[in-house]
């Protein structure tokens, strides 16, 4: 079953002004939609980052996949490697290397893994469609029928400072009380059974207060906090000790595996990461240091769904646990995340998802991918089990053409409000 056509469509979706340690989300988040057609007329779908640099590499690789068999994933990977290694200088800007995009330059393992993943997922969708089996079957078969996600809470502004973007329906969230309200709505609309708080925004003592307010209001729901390395090791240890017994894990309080291990030795809860262990070469140091103990998988940057299964196996071997990272994403990614979540044996926590923050989508709503009690059913139809709404893709492509956002940049919109803002971490040096 050979590839006869690949269409890469950049799209932009409206995004609320969510705050994090780097700054604030822009008015629009970018995604690329990948449509792969084969000689027998089947169509496979993928979704990944939409920044200009990613688009450059997707467009450079796509023509080289013409005529390649969709089952020959190792060959596709070697084409991606060759393209990026040979032409690393063909674009000067690197993919952004912040919390959401742990990639360095074109030749790096991480960037190559991200580009390969963008083609691997639609090929798996096609393999599944040709065999009449869901992607989870191709990954070894599901261990669970539903995958649990957590309420992903953000401090946020009421609206983007840039006009004329309308305010979203969530309002301003900068106090513990407002965060409890945000959580109440998310839990009532999606049924989430656990809570992730994006921290690194307010002084750590205020974020501790927020965690406590959430725990008081939702005593049965485990809580985790992720300040994206905004704290020094001393602050992280102090926060960890204050919240002793109150967090299911502490995610990326500091940057770098050694600093994470230093914190892990002084706090009781496990440490988790999507910042310091983001590719296979990062694993030996984490195993040597004994921390972080939880890795947030993300097929978009770990090299696809099959590589995520390899990560799962390594976690099982070394006694690490898996959780799952998300960036702003739409339904094709949610389906892919859910297929992996279904098969991962080391998955010990509910996964992250940005779904509640998006008001636009590109898939036809389905019963399976609708949240119930905080989880979604693993699609059982062939391939990823999603039907893409191509009119919605076209409309969001038009939005991409006109919105002016071309790369993820949380620093500049914050700097427009606070000219001294750098987005540098650590930013909080005392509790
Ligand atoms: O969407 O602002 C955000 C998050 O901070 C995201 O960029 C991170 O990649 O969700 C992420 C995380 O867990 O670090
Ligand atoms: Mg994180």
- What is the CATH number for 162? 3.20.20.120
Decide: pTM greater than 0.95: yes
The sign one gets for the Cα dihedral 127, 128, 133, 138 is positive
Output 108 or 66, whichever has higher pLDDT.
66
Task: Find out whether 61 and 51 touch, Cβ atoms under 8 Å.
Answer: no
pLDDT of residue 171: 98
Q: Whose CA is nearest to atom 5 of ligand 1?
A: 20
SS3 assignment, position 263: helix
Q: Which of 22, 100, 325, 425 to mutate to test the pocket of ligand 1 (most atoms within 8 A of CB)?
A: 100
Mean pLDDT of all residues in 63-79: 98
Mean pLDDT, rounded, of the chain: 95
Task: Please choose, from the candidates 53, 50, 56, 61, the residue with its C-alpha nearest in 3D space to the C-alpha of residue 94.
Answer: 53
pLDDT of residue 102: 45
Give the model confidence (pLDDT) of 156-215 as tens digits: 999 999 877 889 999 999 999 999 999 999 999 999 999 999 999 999 999 999 999 999
Q: Does residue 419 fall inside a structural domain?
A: no
Based on the domain organization, do 252 and 373 belong to the same domain? Answer: yes
Q: Which of 22, 28, 50, 99 to mutate to test the pocket of ligand 1 (most atoms within 8 A of CB)?
A: 99
Task: Please choose, from the candidates 355, 358, 364, the residue with its C-alpha nearest in 3D space to the C-alpha of residue 392.
Answer: 364
Based on the domain organization, do 102 and 144 belong to the same domain? Answer: no
Ligand 1 lined by 201 (C-beta under 6 Å)? no
Q: At what angle do helices 109-131 and 73-86 cross, to 10 degrees?
A: 150
pLDDT of residue 94: 56
Mean pLDDT of all residues in 140-144: 98
Based on the domain organization, do 100 and 180 belong to the same domain? Answer: no
Integer-rounded Cα Rg, in Å, for the chain is 20
Ligand 1 lined by 137 (C-beta under 6 Å)? no
Which residue shows structure tokens 């450079």?
A: 60
Task: Find out whether 101 and 57 touch, Cβ atoms under 8 Å.
Answer: no
Alpha helices (H) along 27-72: 52-61
Domain count of the fold of the chain: 2
Task: Find out whether 326 and 297 touch, Cβ atoms under 8 Å.
Answer: no
Helix (H) or strand (E) holding 31: strand 28-38
For residue 106, what pLDDT band results from cuts at 50, 70 and 90? low
Cα maximum dimension of the chain: 62
pLDDT of residue 91: 72
Q: Does residue 150 fall inside a structural domain?
A: yes
Relative to the CA of 326, which ligand 1 atom is closest? 10
Task: Find out whether 229 and 198 touch, Cβ atoms under 8 Å.
Answer: no
Give the model confidence (pLDDT) of 11-23 as tens digits: 999 999 999 999 9
Based on the domain organization, do 131 and 13 belong to the same domain? Answer: yes
Structure tokens belonging to residue 112? 């190559």
Q: Does residue 252 fall inside a structural domain?
A: yes
Domain that residue 178 falls in? 140-377
Ligand 1 lined by 31 (C-beta under 6 Å)? no
Q: Whose CA is nearest to atom 1 of ligand 1?
A: 327
Give the model confidence (pLDDT) of 241-299 as tens digits: 999 999 999 999 999 999 999 999 999 999 999 999 999 999 999 999 999 999 999 99
Based on the domain organization, do 74 and 204 belong to the same domain? Answer: no
DSSP 148-183: EB-EEEE-B-SS-SSTTPPP-SS--B-SHHHHHHHH
Based on the domain organization, do 218 and 260 belong to the same domain? Answer: yes
Mean pLDDT of all residues in 102-130: 88
Q: Does residue 214 fall inside a structural domain?
A: yes
Give the model confidence (pLDDT) of 338-376 as tens digits: 999 999 999 999 999 999 999 999 999 999 999 999 999
pLDDT of residue 95: 54
Between the CA of residue 354 and those of 73, 186, 200, 363, what are the distances in Å?
Answer: 29, 11, 18, 16
Ligand 1 lined by 73 (C-beta under 6 Å)? no
Mean pLDDT of all residues in 74-79: 98
CATH number of the domain enclosing 99? 3.30.390.10
Q: Does residue 56 fall inside a structural domain?
A: yes
Mean pLDDT of all residues in 44-55: 95
Q: Which of 29, 50, 198 to mutate to test the pocket of ligand 1 (most atoms within 8 A of CB)?
A: 198
Q: Could you give the CA distance from residue 365 to residue 358 in angstroms, rounded to a whole number?
A: 14
Alpha helices (H) along 274-357: 283-289, 299-302, 305-318, 331-343
Q: Does residue 424 fall inside a structural domain?
A: no
Task: Find out whether 388 and 136 touch, Cβ atoms under 8 Å.
Answer: no
Structure tokens belonging to residue 394? 């076209």
pLDDT of residue 93: 58
Ligand 1 lined by 194 (C-beta under 6 Å)? no
Relative to the CA of 154, which ligand 1 atom is closest? 2
Relative to the CA of 101, which ligand 1 atom is closest? 9
Ligand 1 lined by 295 (C-beta under 6 Å)? no
Ligand 1 lined by 198 (C-beta under 6 Å)? yes
Based on the domain organization, do 352 and 216 belong to the same domain? Answer: yes
Based on the domain organization, do 227 and 101 belong to the same domain? Answer: no
Residues lining ion ligand 2 (Cβ < 5 A) are 226, 251, 274
Beta carbons within 8 Å of 270's beta carbon, 6+ residues apart: 248, 249, 250, 264, 292, 293, 294, 321
Task: Find out whether 333 and 300 touch, Cβ atoms under 8 Å.
Answer: yes
Backbone angles phi, psi at 368, to 5 degrees: -60, -45
Structure tokens belonging to residue 195? 């809570």
Task: HSE, CB side, 13 Å, CA atoms: give it for residue 407.
Answer: 14
Task: Find out whether 116 and 303 touch, Cβ atoms under 8 Å.
Answer: yes
| Nearest ligand to residue 17 Cα | 1
Q: Whose CA is nearest to atom 9 of ligand 1?
A: 100
Q: Does residue 50 fall inside a structural domain?
A: yes
Based on the domain organization, do 219 and 180 belong to the same domain? Answer: yes
Q: Could you give the CA distance from residue 20 to residue 145 in angstroms, rounded to a whole number?
A: 33
pLDDT of residue 325: 98
Report CA(301)–ligand 2 centroid distance (Å): 13
Rounded to a whole number, what is the distance in angstroms from the first to the last CA of the chain? 59
Q: Does residue 303 fall inside a structural domain?
A: yes
Based on the domain organization, do 120 and 168 belong to the same domain? Answer: no
Based on the domain organization, do 10 and 45 belong to the same domain? Answer: yes
pLDDT at 399 over 90: yes
Q: At what angle do helices 52-61 and 73-86 cross, to 10 degrees?
A: 120
Instruction: Region of 49 please: left (phi>0), alpha (psi -120 to 50) or beta.
Output: beta
Beta carbons within 8 Å of 336's beta carbon, 6+ residues apart: 46, 47, 121, 135, 299, 305, 384
Q: Could you give the CA distance from residue 285 to residue 291 in angstroms, rounded to a whole number?
A: 9
Ligand 1 lined by 300 (C-beta under 6 Å)? no
Ligand 1 lined by 18 (C-beta under 6 Å)? yes
pLDDT at 97 over 90: no
Based on the domain organization, do 162 and 299 belong to the same domain? Answer: yes
User: Which are the catalytic amino acids?
Assistant: 198, 325
Q: Whose CA is nearest to atom 13 of ligand 1?
A: 325
Task: Find out whether 293 and 299 touch, Cβ atoms under 8 Å.
Answer: no
């Amino acid at each position: 079953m050979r590839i006869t056509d690949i269409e890469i469509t950049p799209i932009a979706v409206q995004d609320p002004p969510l705050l994090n340690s780097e700054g604030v989300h822009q008015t629009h988040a970018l995604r690329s939609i990948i449509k792969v057609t084969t000689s027998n007329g089947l169509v496979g779908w993928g979704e990944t980052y939409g920044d200009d640099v990613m688009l450059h590499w997707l467009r450079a690789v796509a023509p080289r996949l013409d005529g390649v068999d969709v089952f020959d994933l190792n060959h596709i990977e070697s084409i991606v490697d060759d393209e990026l290694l040979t032409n690393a200088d063909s674009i000067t800007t690197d993919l952004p290397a912040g919390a959401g995009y742990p990639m360095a330059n074109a030749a790096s393992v991480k960037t190559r893994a991200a580009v390969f993943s963008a083609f691997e997922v639609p090929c798996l969708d096609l393999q599944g469609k040709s065999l009449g089996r869901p992607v989870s079957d191709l990954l070894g078969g599901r261990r669970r029928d539903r995958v649990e996600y957590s309420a992903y809470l953000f401090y946020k502004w009421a609206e983007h400072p840039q006009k004329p973007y309308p305010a979203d329906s969530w309002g301003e969230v900068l106090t513990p009380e407002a965060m409890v309200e945000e959580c109440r709505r998310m839990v009532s609309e999606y049924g989430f059974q656990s809570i992730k708080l994006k921290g690194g925004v307010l002084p750590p003592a205020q974020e501790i207060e927020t965690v406590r307010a959430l725990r008081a209001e939702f005593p049965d729901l485990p809580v985790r906090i992720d300040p994206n390395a905004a704290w020094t090791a001393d602050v992280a240890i102090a926060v960890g000790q204050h919240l002793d017994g109150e967090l299911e894990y502490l995610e990326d309080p500091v940057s770098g595996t050694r600093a994470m291990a230093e914190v892990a030795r002084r706090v009781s809860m496990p440490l988790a990461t999507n910042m310091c262990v983001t590719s296979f070469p990062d694993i030996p140091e984490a195993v040597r240091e004994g921390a972080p103990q939880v890795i947030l998988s993300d097929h978009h940057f770990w090299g696809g769904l099959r590589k995520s299964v390899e990560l799962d196996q390594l976690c099982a071997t070394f006694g690490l646990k898996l959780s799952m990272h998300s960036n702003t994403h739409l339904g094709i990614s949610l389906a892919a995340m859910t297929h992996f979540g279904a098969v991962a044996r080391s998955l010990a926590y509910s996964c992250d998802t940005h779904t509640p923050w998006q008001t636009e989508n590109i898939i036809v709503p389905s019963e399976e991918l609708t949240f119930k009690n905080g989880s979604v059913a693993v699609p059982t139809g062939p391939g990823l089990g999603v039907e893409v709404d191509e009119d919605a893709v076209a409309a969001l492509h038009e939005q991409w053409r006109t919105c002016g956002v071309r790369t993820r940049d949380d620093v500049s919109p914050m700097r427009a409000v606070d000219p001294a803002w750098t987005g540098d971490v650590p930013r909080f040096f005392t509790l």
